[in-house]
Structure formats: C-alpha cells, structure tokens
Structure 1
Amino acid sequence: MKTWRALAAAAATSLALAGCGGGPGVSDNTLTVWLMDGSASDALIDELNKEFEQSHPGMKVDYQIQQWNGIQDRLTTALASEDPPDVIELGNSQNPQFSAEGTLLDLTADADALNKSQWVPALGESGAWEGKQYGVPFYAANRVVVYNKQLFDQAGITQPPTTRDELLGAIAKLEQTHGSDPEFQSLYLPGQSWYALLSFVWDSGGELAVRDGADYKGALDTPQAREGVEYYQQLFEESRTQAAADIDEAKPQQAEIYAKGKVAMMIALPWEVQTAAETNPQITGLTSAFPIPSKYPGKTAPVFLGGSNLAIPAGSADADAAKDYLKLLTSQKYQTKIAESGVVPGASQDTSALEGNPVSAAMAIASKSGKVPPAVPQWATVESGQNPLKDMMTSVLTGQKSVVDATIAANEKITELLAAKN
C-alpha cells in the first residue's frame, strides 16, 4: 500500500527548480542513497545493501528514506552542495529539469550496463535530455478501467470492452439495467481527470506539445486532439456521471465513491481498489479491470505512465560505486522484487509477477503502450498551478466553450508556459 501511495505522489509531483551542480566531493567510503518513502520494501533494501557491501569491501550504504512533501527544496539544496547524496530517486516528470540544470551525472555510456535493453521506453525517454541519459527507470504505474463484476453480470456484459465503441455499448447496457437507481453511475468520471483524457487524445493521434525548432509548442489545436476531447465529453454525458465538471479524481477521492458498490466503472490506478477496500472490504472480490480501450481493435489506448527514475548527482564523490548500486537495482533479480510489490518494473520487460491480480495484470498490459508528457523542464509549470488542460475540460463539459475554442485557448496557454525560461 505504501508503494502505491508513493507512486501516486511521484506521478503527481512536478517541480520548478533552480540551481547548479557542485564539484565532486571527497569519498568517505560511504554510499549515501536517497529513496522515497514506500518505493521499496525494507526487505528488498536490506538484501540489496548487503549484497552491495559484500561486493565492495570497506564501503557502507547510508540509506535515507525521503518524504515527497518538501522534496523539492531538499533536492535543490543537496544537488547544489559540495556533498550531495550518491544515488537519488526522483519523479519521472522532475527528471528533465534536473537534467537541464546539469546537476545530474551523464549516464549515457553506462546505459547498457544498467539494463537499457529492458527499460520501459517511456520512462527511458523521461530520463533523457538533449541526446544524453541522466535518469534510469525505477518503477511506474498507469491507469486502467476498474469495474464491478457484479454490476456487469447483472447487465449481461460477459466480456470487458476492448474498443471505444464497446465501452459506450457497455455504458448503454449498464444504464438500461441499473439506471433507475438514483445512486448508480455506469462510469464515475470527474470532469478534470486529465490523465485519463490523455489516453483518448493520444489514441486519436493527438499530442500535448511538439517540437518547434529548439523549443516546444502546444499541439492541442488539431483535429486528432479534438477527437480525443470529444470522446471524453461523450463518456461524461452518456455515463450520466454524478461527478462535477470542475473536479478531478482526488477531491473527493473517487475510490471512496467506488467503494459504495453503486459505481460500475472508474478510470483509476490499481492502488485505488485497496483504498476502496478500507471502507468496504467486500469490494475487492467484486472488482476486476481492463486496459483503457482504443479506437483500434486489437490495441489498447496509450496511457500516462507515472513513476520514478534513479539518478546520480553530478557532484557524487563515489560515482563509480553509485553506478554499481544502480546496476544491482536495475538487475532482473531486484526488478522482479519491485514487480512483486505491485508496480511496473521500470528496467524490466518481465511483468509476470503482476499477473496474479486482475487489476495489476491489466495495468501491466496497458503499460506496454505507456507514454509521458514532453520531456522538457517547463512541462512542470503546465501541470502545476492553473492547469490549462483542466480549464479546457471544464469549459467544454459545462458548455462554456466549444471544443474548438477550448482547445485553442488551452493550446495558447501551453505554448506560453513552454516558452517561459526558468
């Protein structure tokens, strides 16, 4: 459970950092490792540190657990100091800004030894900057369609939807069977669930931003992106969701609403089923999941892949030892242990450890089509504050703006934010 909460924090955290790297420090035969709370079990870390120390006689691992709250200031200060930690974990959406600042060690020449051939492609992209590799994939998660099997069975739905049209068809059957219940919702879909929206935009061939010379500009002002927005609007309207158009999935927590047993589907991270079970233990046995459907038969929709990367500060006094530590952590042995905790291993294509749970299994399948936002430092400013994607969705769903006008406005704002220099 701690791992899922940590992953949610990693996926949601966006930084606006400033600073420069310090010079290499002086080795004291101590490897300082900063990982985030809940990212790895105590048993895994104990085994990893013991194996590392046995292969590096005289060196000790100083393992320090960090909290996501306040990590921006701590990392900024640490990376600019003369004695930074030797290994750090950071959210994949944070990686581009640290890379651009020059505070992370260039790992391009070491990538193959760090299991590059098995990396989740999207996470590898998030750790790259201007043709060089500064971050190594650690772990990730993505959204799936979580559903109530009992409500599906009662509506005569024997197989989960595999296309967009089939998803709309399932909603129609669910509404026909259960629609007379005022508490029933075929799909709980908050208006500002922009991570879910991305799947439909990407599936339609749209993008959030594209290169414009040396910079990036918004790309929502296209027929493909608008098609994705229109499909989200259709889901919102036909499901008759009781979620408001101006909220996201966190306020209120959609898992708490799903727990009541009157919601047939929600687009969620797997850990949200565990959250629902805290108030309704029976909901776990009623729940399964399927990948977000694509418009194309035989495919799954691309999904936002949130998670963490690993990096070595440029000022590390024990960079070679730090690389050896990353080699262990990205090895198949430890990546399998990461998967056993219920997340997608970032440096392994083997997700068989997730197959025992239907929700995790669906996540693993969908992760193969994982994507991340543009790997540019300024993207953090798009996600934080007054997110233009959220504003766009609310304006469309409330009828304040047409899809065309709303995407134009959001596109202009994204272009403006990406043009800002940190």
Structure 2
Amino acid sequence: MKRKLIAAIGVAGMMVSIAACGGSSSDDDGGKKAGADGFKGQTLTVWTMSGSNPDGWTKTVTEEFEKKTQAKLKIEVQAWNGIQQKVTTALSESNPPDVLEIGNTQTPAYAKTGGLAELGDLKKEIGGAWPDAINAPSVFDGKQYALPWYFGNRVVMYNKKVFKDAGITETPKTRAELFKAFDAIKAKGDAEPIYLPGQNWYFFDGLLVGQGVEPVKKEGDKYVSNMADPKVAAAMDVYKQYQSYSKAPKDKDEATPQQADVFANGKTGAIIAMGYEAGTAIKANPKIKDDIGFFTIPGETADKPEGVFLGGSNFAVAAGSKKQDLAKEFLKIALSEANDGALVKEAGWTPKSEAMQKYAVGQPAAEAAGPAAIKSGGTTPLIAEWAPVENPPNPIKTYMTLVLQGKSPADAAKQVEGELNKRLAQKQ
C-alpha cells in the first residue's frame, strides 16, 4: 500500500475530556504477578495503522513478546481514514486498546485530553540515544506521553542519467552546488531541473526548521500567526529559488499530480521526495529503476544538511489501559535497537540515531535521509492547537502560492494571518 508519512492531520473533533487512569497491579487487571509467568493468560491489544508494521518485524516482535511474557499479542490494524475520531472515542472508553500508534505531531492533542499514560521512566530505560528532535514529538507540557516508533524525512530523489548527461559527476553537498547542478541541467535543455509545485508544504516546513523559526508564536496565553517573521520570509526565499527551476504549478501540491509519476517520465532531474516514492515512479515506468538515486538535501554549508520535517508515528499507552505493565514490556521489545533496526531494513524508515545508520546500508533513501534527520530534523509546532491549521485549504500553502505569484512575503503573511489565527483559536 502506498503509505503517506504525514503527521498533523486535523484532529479538530477532539473535544472529549478524558480522565487519566493509572495502571493497577492486581492479578486480574494486567498488573504483573510475581514470578516468571506473571502475565500468563493475558492478551495485550495494540493498534497499528495500515502499512506501518511489516510482516518480518511483526513476526519477530510477536514471538519475542509472547516468549518473554507468556501473554498473547493482538495487533489490530486500523485504516487512516477517520482514525482521529476513532482514537479519541477509544481513549474515552473504559476498555481502550492498550497500546496505540499515533501520528507523531498528533501526540500533543491526545496528551492534552488526559488520554495517554506518562512514559518518562521507560524513555530513560530504552531511548537514551534518541536525538532531541526525534523525541520531541513524544513530549507534551514537559512530560513524556509516547515513544518514537518510526519516522521518515525527505531527500533529493534524482535521475542519474539526467545529471550525468548535464556533466554532473558528484552529488551536491551544498545548496549552491545543487543550484549549480540545476543550472547545468537547464542549460542542457533536455530535462526540467526539478519538479517542485508551489505547495510542497512539508519541504517548506523543513526550510522553516533550517531557519530556526515556527509559523506560529505565543502571545499571552494563545498562539497566533508568526508568518510575518523575517526568518519565515528567508525560508520562503529559498523555496522560491528552488521553484524557479521548475515548471510545476504554483497553486498545487506534490500529490496533484503525483510528483513521482512526473519523475517517471525520465525528463525530470530531481524531486524532493520520501523514499517510498521511488516505488511509485518505478511502477509507472519500470525502465527508470536503474536511473534513480538519492542524496541528502544539502544546506548552506556542507557540514549541516538542510532542515527537514520529521513525519512519522509514536507508540503510546492508553491511560485507561488496565495492562500498563504489560504494555511497557511490549514497548521494550518493539523499540529495542535490534527491532528498530529491522524496521529500517525492512521498511526503509530513517534511522533514529547515528549508531543506527548501520541498519540503513542497502536502503539508499534511508542512508540519504539519516544525516539530515539527526543533524537538522524538526516538526510542525508541537502544540495541541496546531491540528486544525493543516486542514484544507491550509493557509500556509496559500501563503506559499501568493509569494510565488509575486506578492511580497509581508503582504502574503498579512493576507493569511486572519485564517491562521482563526484555526489556532478553535476549541480542541
């Protein structure tokens, strides 16, 4: 299944107030009994999303969990469509799933309701090597409410033949070198240097991360637009430079049409893509398979890659689960370095740390994604108020199109400010 690694899908319907319940330790509620068979006869229910848990990883984790705990593991795969309301409802009930996969930047909204258990001690035990940027989406109000499971970030997916025909023999290591390569492809005249539509919002969010700025700011006790910040304009200027090499529409995103399908025509030098988009391109044109390559999105200097948006999923434990001790045993196994590494190998996700880069060998997209994620990764604003902002039509996408169509960043920011503030003020 083609898998969209996009977090922060709208959760505006999240209005249920959920009372947090701590795990108990009695024999019949999932608390661990004394002895090696403390969990024998119990069943742990885990919700994962369609396309998230590949067969090899699932088999290994299930076997390890059941052997160690003598309990049964029941993984229930959920559809992405309508999942926010389904999770919200489940967390409000007396018998929720014990462990849930949730989009990484959705975590604050769920945590705010009181529906997630705190996992600070468990994070210290198994996640000491995770960089702050990777762990940050699991934290809300200073407390650990989830643990990072997997994530991915964008890389430059390029056509080796197009680059070679333009005389480019080495992959660019700086933004200036990349633009020089685009100039060479443009001068050659046989291909479009890059296909980049005007509303590739997650690439733009990475540029915001690179500039050290967020699209919102806090004023008093509320969040408001920060689109007029000069650093936002600077990020948009970089985007504009990229987009100047493209004939893509300025008012569409990378899914309209699917940019991988455009890349498949063999007349496109590069796209800013997730690794899985190579499969989409190959499906559209099998002949292009050997021409596809990847490299890290270069930054201003060679020592620091461009900022990237880290989209992915966390594992969380329901505060209402009566099997929290057993849930933690599952997380220790599921998030062990060996099983995290197996997930990188099998699914091509980005390694969580420098030490885990070894698991990306043989996964070209993951190899290219790792350096930027570890050195320059970030997310959308990690606030519960963020969720409605990205509901279509996303006002930040509107801002991008306005600037690309000729408006000044200041005027574009002013034009979208009212709608952005309105969304930030929606009740959660």
TM-score for both structures, normalised by structure 2? 0.90
Query: Which of 93, 96, 107 is the matching residue for 2:108?
Result: 96
* CA distance in structure 2 between the aligned counterparts of 1:344 and 1:15, rounded to whole angstroms: 26
The residue number in structure 2 matching 1:319 is 324
Alpha-carbon distance change, 157 to 49 in structure 1, aligned in 2, over 3 angstroms: same
* CA distance in structure 2 between the aligned counterparts of 1:158 and 1:9, rounded to whole angstroms: 31
Tell me the amino acid that sits aligned with residue 19 of structure 1: V
The residue number in structure 2 matching 1:200 is 207
Asked if structure 2 preserves the Cα contact closer than 8 Å seen for 1:339 and 1:351, the reply is no
Query: Which of 69, 73, 78 is the matching residue for 1:61?
Result: 73
Tell me the amino acid that sits aligned with residue 27 of structure 1: D
Cα drift, residue 383 of structure 1: 1.0
Q: Deviations over 1:365-397 (max 9, x none)?
A: 221121011111111111112211110111111
Instruction: Indicate the SS of the match to 1:18.
Output: coil
Tell me the amino acid that sits aligned with residue 140 of structure 1: F
Instruction: Indicate the SS of the match to 1:308.
Output: strand
Q: Where in structure 2 are there 5+ consecutive unaligned residues?
A: 31-41
Asked if structure 1 preserves the Cα contact closer than 8 Å seen for 2:149 and 2:315, the reply is yes
Query: Which of 378, 396, 399 is the matching residue for 1:389?
Result: 396
The residue number in structure 1 matching 2:34 is none
Query: Which of 291, 298, 310 is the matching residue for 2:303?
Result: 298
Query: Which of 308, 320, 326 is the matching residue for 2:313?
Result: 308
Cα drift, residue 54 of structure 1: 1.9
Cα drift, residue 121 of structure 1: 2.6
* CA distance in structure 2 between the aligned counterparts of 1:304 and 1:349, rounded to whole angstroms: 21
Q: Where in structure 1 are there 5+ consecutive unaligned residues?
A: none
Query: Which of 1, 9, 14 is the matching residue for 2:10?
Result: 14
The residue number in structure 2 matching 1:141 is 152
The residue number in structure 1 matching 2:33 is none
Cα drift, residue 347 of structure 1: 7.7
Tell me the amino acid that sits aligned with residue 334 of structure 2: L
Between the two proteins, the alignment pairs up a number of residues equal to: 409
Query: Is 1:365 equivalent to 2:371 in the alignment?
Result: yes
Q: Deviations over 1:312-357 (max 9, x none)?
A: 0000010111011111111112111111121024588512221323
Give the 5 Å matches for 1:70-219.
Answer: 70-113=82-125, 115-178=126-189, 181=190, 184-219=191-226
The residue number in structure 1 matching 2:410 is 404
* CA distance in structure 2 between the aligned counterparts of 1:186 and 1:377, rounded to whole angstroms: 39
The residue number in structure 2 matching 1:27 is 29
Q: Deviations over 1:224-269 (max 9, x none)?
A: 22111122112222x1x22111100011100000001000010010
Query: Is 1:40 equivalent to 2:45 in the alignment?
Result: no
Cα drift, residue 120 of structure 1: 4.3
Asked if structure 1 preserves the Cα contact closer than 8 Å seen for 2:206 and 2:377, the reply is no
Asked if structure 1 preserves the Cα contact closer than 8 Å seen for 2:228 and 2:409, the reply is no
* CA distance in structure 1 between the aligned counterparts of 2:416 and 2:171, rounded to whole angstroms: 34
Structure 1 range deviating more: 132-141 or 27-36 = 27-36
Instruction: Indicate the SS of the match to 1:69.
Output: coil
Instruction: Indicate the SS of the match to 2:356.
Output: coil
Asked if structure 2 preserves the Cα contact closer than 8 Å seen for 1:204 and 1:225, the reply is yes
Cα drift, residue 211 of structure 1: 3.7
Query: How much identity, in percent, do the aligned residues show?
Result: 36
* CA distance in structure 2 between the aligned counterparts of 1:366 and 1:85, rounded to whole angstroms: 34
Cα drift, residue 60 of structure 1: 1.7
Query: Which of 239, 244, 247 is the matching residue for 1:242?
Result: 247
Asked if structure 2 preserves the Cα contact closer than 8 Å seen for 1:291 and 1:362, the reply is yes
Structure 1 range deviating more: 129-138 or 405-414 = 405-414
